[in-house]
Structure 1
Amino acid sequence: MPVEPAKKVEVTGNRIQQIVSESYNKYGNLLSHLSDKLGIELAASVAVLSVESGGVGIDRGRALIRFENHLFYKYWGKFNEAKFRQHFQFAASKNWLGHKFRKDPDGEWIDFHGDQDKEYEALNFARSLDDEKALLSISMGLPQILGSNSKLIGYDSVQEMFENFNKDIRYHIFALFDFFSPRMIKYLSGKEFVNFAKYYNGQGQARRYGKFIQDYYEAFPKNLG
């Protein structure tokens, strides 16, 4: 099945409207097919992907990733405290913030989120410490699904998920719908975006992400609704 829709929409408007239109133009056909199967409005599915990754799943031949220091601490660092603290930092109160990395224990700390080369530098260093635990600690691709959910979406290993996400954007889109729980489907189809975000993004960021999804949903081209 083609990923792209047969008919594209014009990319105009503000940045959010442009991202939504670009996401539809790249993935709209497959998204429409899978959304219909689950009773989810296409605009809502496009909004989720647009919020999670800006509609970009593969960057220069690599899956878009975000390396989460606090998760690597959970899976590996707390058992190797001294080594972890030499190379990774995160905020104590809100552990998804304050992420810094340095390869050299005596080097300067760097902020690496938002730069895929630096994200991969952090990931590759972490993989040299523990390959599986490092991959469990990243969110991947268009839907930014954590490696720790690899078995939930049907993979035998997180390495298999990572390899497939680097191969073909279709794996990203199928993973999104495989990841949706009945509760997520209920809230997304009902346009209860904050409640959806509680389960997709976590309680701590539900209001923030729910508002983002609402904004992107409203930016979806009305002639496609």
Structure 2
Amino acid sequence: MITAAKGLGVEPATLKTVIDVEARSSGFDDEGRPTILFERHKMWKYLGEANYFTKRDQLSALFPDICHQSPGDYNARSQYEKLAIAESLHWEAAHLSASWGLGQVMGFNYESLGYPSLKAFIDAMYESEAKQLDAMCRYIKVNYLVDELQRHDWAGFAKGYNGSNYAINKYDQKLAAAYAKAKKEGW
């Protein structure tokens, strides 16, 4: 983490802050799989882009926690159960619709982060937390969020990292609290 922080030009406490808020504990679950969060509204979007409109509407009617126009319903079933159901319909749309690992980087970012394919991105997420951290740092760089981290502009970072609805979940406040905790712990 220290090397990655230096690579971004931020203090280690700042990078630890993002990891603590995003991953909450580890980049892997108890079964050794990358920690994921499945975003049903992204599944809706990517099925539409793949011209799976009828299947999308059917999936939404049967499994609204897996495919829906609006975000939410994160706790209805396990994230990997959602991914498995979504995969059975459309592998690519399913994996584009999940956030992965320590930084919870969305699969749909793979190309802008320099991965040659979605599969290469997913494979990296399975390989190690170091690879997950690398993906997170790539995301921060390509989305021009380093300045926000350097200034501890938590609202600016939150908006760039999680989107304009960040305030609903008090993401900026969670970052500020996690940073204060990291500094108190000597990071």
Give TM-score scaled by structure 1 length: 0.73
Distance 1:66 1:87, change over 3 A: farther
Give the Å deviation of 1:162.
1.2
Give the Å deviation of 1:37.
2.4
Task: Please state if 1:158 is matched with 2:118.
Answer: yes
Distance 1:198 1:206, change over 3 A: farther
Question: Which of the residues 164, 171, 177 maps onto 2:131?
Answer: 171
Give the Å deviation of 1:206.
4.1
Partner SS, residue 114 of structure 2: coil
Cα separation, 1, equivalents of 2:36 and 2:133: 15
Uncovered stretches (5+) of structure 1, i.e. residues with no partner: 1-30, 101-110, 113-117
Partner SS, residue 139 of structure 1: strand
Partner SS, residue 183 of structure 1: coil
Partner of 2:84: 124
Task: Please state if 1:47 is matched with 2:17.
Answer: yes
Partner SS, residue 99 of structure 2: strand
1:55 maps to amino acid: S
- Which shows bigger deviation, 180-189 or 124-133? 180-189
Task: Please state if 1:205 is matched with 2:166.
Answer: yes
Cα separation, 2, equivalents of 1:185 and 1:221: 19
Give TM-score scaled by structure 2 length: 0.86
- Alpha-carbon RMSD across the aligned residues, in angstroms, is 2.1
8 Å Cα contact 2:43/2:94 also seen in 1: yes
Partner of 1:65: 36
8 Å Cα contact 1:40/1:189 also seen in 2: yes
Which structure would you say has the larger RCO, counting Cα contacts within 8 Å and 6 or more residues apart? 2
The percentage of aligned residue pairs carrying the same residue is 29
Rg: which structure is higher? 1
Task: Please state if 1:183 is matched with 2:144.
Answer: yes
